[in-house]
Amino acid sequence: MKTRYFRYGLMTVITGLVLYLALGYGSRSFEAFCPFGGMESLWGLFTTSEFSCALGPLNLSMLVGLLILAIIAKKAFCGWACPIGFMGELLNFVSRKVWKKRPPVAPKVNGGMKLLRYVVLVLALIFTYKSGELILRGYDPFYVIFSGMGHGTVGLTSLIVLGAIIVGSFVVPMFFCRYLCPLSATFDPFSKLGLIKVVRNEDGCTNCGKCARVCPQGLEPDKAVKLSHRDCTNCFECVDSCPHKDVLTIQATY
Ligand code: SF4
Ligand code: SF4
């Protein structure tokens, strides 16, 4: 619980800073801090040595920094800093009050739906590389929310997509992060290598399953010895939930 307060506090500060920029108080646009913009910049940089649209060196620096972070601490950015990840967790918190018992997503459906984020990644890159414009930003919750439906959004369609993501989050925790986020797809191979992870001491574990029930990503720390799954955000909700001391620990290990 203490970790969650600290995490939520950090994400509140970061979300507040993005909002501050979005309201026009900073010297840069909030878009300059989008790490996925670094991915979208690559083709333009290779072909014309110029950044596409509103993107710049800061986007690329953030991407490189976060890929290094993923090799060290898996998807910690998603669990400790991303405003959209934060909103996903808040929606998950609210939806837990609505559902008495949320129907589980079948593992095959869950696994299949996760492939959608690679489709989004490929489409976002193809559209940007072909046009030099951020064509999909009108469907990106980060842009739609913080730009206040600014230019590049597509009116009612943007609102419908945002609404569908919110409704989806009530059905499946972290709906956007799990199934649609192209940045999450970018992190995947790096996160799989991530050094810092949750480790379970099998001798002390009573297989109560509490850790799996609280995992916002639907992972199974109760079945792993070393939680290497690419989707782990190192949020440590599972560690905090375990009733036994030192059964789930955080270690730097391969
Ligand atoms: S396995 Fe644990 S640390 Fe990883 S995402 Fe799930 S709750 Fe968070
Ligand atoms: S909460 Fe702790 S004791 Fe229960 S299954 Fe998870 S690791 Fe084992």
Express each pLDDT in 42-93 by its tens digit.
888 878 888 877 788 999 999 999 999 999 999 999 999 999 999 999 999 9
Domain holding 237, by residue range, is: 195-252
Direct distance between the N- and C-terminal alpha carbons of the chain, in angstroms, rounded to an integer = 27
> Counting beta carbons within 10 angstroms of the beta carbon of residue 13, is it exposed (0 to 12), middle (13 to 18) or buried (19 or more)?
exposed
Protein residue closest via CA to atom 2 of ligand 1:
238
Convert the pLDDT of each residue in 92-149 to its tens digit: 999 988 888 888 899 999 999 999 999 999 999 999 888 877 888 899 999 999 999 8
Is any atom of ligand 2 closer than 6 Å to the C-beta of 166? Answer: no
Question: How do residues 184-223 score in pLDDT, each as one tens digit?
Answer: 999 999 999 999 999 999 999 999 999 999 999 999 999 9
DSSP type of residue 250: E
Atom of ligand 1 lying closest to residue 236 CA:
3
> Do 104 and 24 share a domain, yes or no?
yes
Residue 130: what pLDDT? Answer: 85
Judge if the beta carbon of residue 209 lies within 6 A of ligand 2.
yes
CATH of the domain at 233: 3.30.70.20
Examine the domain organization and report whether 130 and 243 are in the same domain. no
Residue with CA closest to ligand 2 atom 4: 208
Task: Please indicate, yes or no, whether the overall pTM of this predicted structure exceeds 0.85.
Answer: yes
Q: Are residues 9 and 66 in the same domain?
A: yes
211 Cβ closer than 6 Å to some ligand 2 atom = yes
